């Protein structure tokens, strides 16, 4: 977590600032790492509502008044937090919520965004998915109902990416963040990865294949052994931490959500995007399927120097 030098906290307007779990988490983390904090919010103008006030005040003036009021509120919050001794600034932007949040991360050269997840019938709403897809830096989305509970942390790594330098770096960043968080919160850390044999079902049940069960079993054992060796090499770099390592056979879209929900994991740390040309199980559509099926808070990240389509 010491990699984070500048944290942007999206402050929830609907929650009392002193009870905003994103603020509490951000202050706690910055107090341990010495990171700078920016308290941030977005005013998203609603044309229909603004037009209804047209006879009283112009839409532009009303929007600027709302921005100024919100800026005053964040300034008051920053003053309340002066006793922490942290470097705290405030900022309010106008525009589309997720776009302005991502732009704030980029413009401020921040290296972590902390935000309370929007309430949704599903795991995360479309606004939060846009942020996770487009923010170039790690995004910590906190499920509000969990409050201050972080007892179990999961690092979901993709061993199929270990053959590429970028994939190796991303796996290590996942474990770095997860292990630091588990240490700060005195939480249990689990490092989980999945494996499978490419074409297993075709080998077993294909109409044109003649592969014996014994040969398939040999292939399965070889594949599992390769993945286990890869996992051992990876986790041996983290012997200073206590953790459980699990290598599970199956589709990560099924394995990871089942593990998270069954074990009551509080925070999942995982990647969401890999560069083109680098294969991986836990990127793109697969990562989104996992995120749509879990009930935990998440920290999602992307490869170093990944370029956002925003800005």
pLDDT at site 280: 46
Lowest-confidence segment of 13-27, 50-64, 99-113 by average pLDDT = 50-64
pLDDT of residue 277: 47
Q: Are residues 136 and 160 in the same domain?
A: no
Mean pLDDT of the chain: 88
| Statement: the pTM of the whole predicted model exceeds 0.85 | yes
Average pLDDT over residues 215-221: 87
| Same-domain status, 71 and 122 | yes
Tell me, yes or no, whether 108 and 158 share the same domain.
Answer: no
260/189 same-domain check: yes
Q: HEC profile for the chain?
A: CCCCCEEEEECCCCCCHHHCHHHHHHHHHHHHHCCEEEEEEEECCCHHHHHCCCCCCCHHHHHHHHHHHHHHHHHHHHHHCHHHCCCEEEEEEECCHHHHHHHHHHHCCCCEEEEECCCCCCCCCHHHHHHHHHCCCCEEEECHHHCCCCCEEEEECCHHHCCCHHHHHHHHHHHHHHHHHHHHCCCEEEEEEEECCCCHHHHHHCCCCCCCHHHHHHHHHHHHHHHHHHHHHHHHHHCCCCCEEEEEECCHHHHHHHHHHHHCCCEEEEECCCCCCCCCCCCCHHHHHHHHCCCCEEEEECCCCCCCCCC
Domain enclosing residue 3, as ranges? 1-144
User: Would you say residue 244 has pLDDT above 80?
Assistant: yes
Do 178 and 119 lie in one domain? The reply is no
Q: What is the pLDDT of residues 255-265, one digit of tens each?
A: 999 999 999 99
Q: What is the CATH number of the domain that holds 222?
A: 3.40.50.620
Structure confidence at residue 113 as a pLDDT band (50, 70, 90): very high
Most confident of 12-21, 170-179, 205-214: 170-179
> Both 154 and 136 in a single domain?
no
Asked if residue 162 and residue 108 are part of one domain, the reply reads: no
């Amino acid at each position: 977590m010491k990699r984070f030098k500048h944290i942007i906290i999206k402050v929830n307007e609907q929650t009392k600032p002193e009870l905003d779990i994103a603020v509490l988490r951000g202050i706690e983390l910055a107090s341990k790492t010495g990171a700078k904090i920016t308290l941030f919010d977005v005013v998203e103008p609603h044309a229909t509502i603004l037009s209804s006030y047209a006879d009283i005040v112009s839409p532009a003036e009303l929007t600027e008044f709302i921005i100024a009021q919100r800026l005053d509120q964040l300034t008051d919050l920053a003053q309340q937090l002066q006793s922490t001794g942290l470097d705290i600034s405030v900022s309010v932007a106008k525009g589309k919520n997720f776009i302005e949040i991502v732009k704030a991360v980029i413009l401020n050269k921040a290296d972590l965004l902390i935000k309370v997840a929007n309430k949704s019938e599903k795991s995360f709403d479309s606004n939060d998915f846009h942020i996770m897809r487009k923010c170039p830096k790690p995004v910590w989305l906190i499920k509000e109902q969990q409050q201050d509970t972080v007892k179990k942390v999961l690092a979901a790594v993709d061993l199929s990416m270990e053959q590429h330098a970028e994939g190796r770096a991303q796996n290590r960043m996942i474990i770095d963040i997860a292990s630091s968080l588990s240490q700060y919160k005195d939480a249990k850390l689990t490092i989980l990865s999945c494996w499978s044999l490419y074409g297993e079902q075709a080998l077993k049940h294909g109409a044109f294949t003649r592969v014996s069960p014994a040969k398939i079993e040999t292939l399965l054992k070889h594949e599992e052994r390769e993945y286990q060796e890869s996992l051992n090499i990876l986790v041996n770099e983290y012997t200073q931490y206590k953790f459980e390592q699990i290598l599970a056979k199956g589709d990560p879209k099924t394995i990871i959500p089942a593990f998270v929900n069954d074990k009551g994991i509080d925070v999942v740390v995982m990647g969401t995007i890999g560069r083109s040309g680098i294969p991986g199980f836990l990127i793109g559509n697969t990562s989104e399927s996992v995120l749509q099926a879990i009930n935990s808070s998440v920290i999602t990240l992307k490869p170093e120097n990944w370029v956002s389509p925003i800005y």
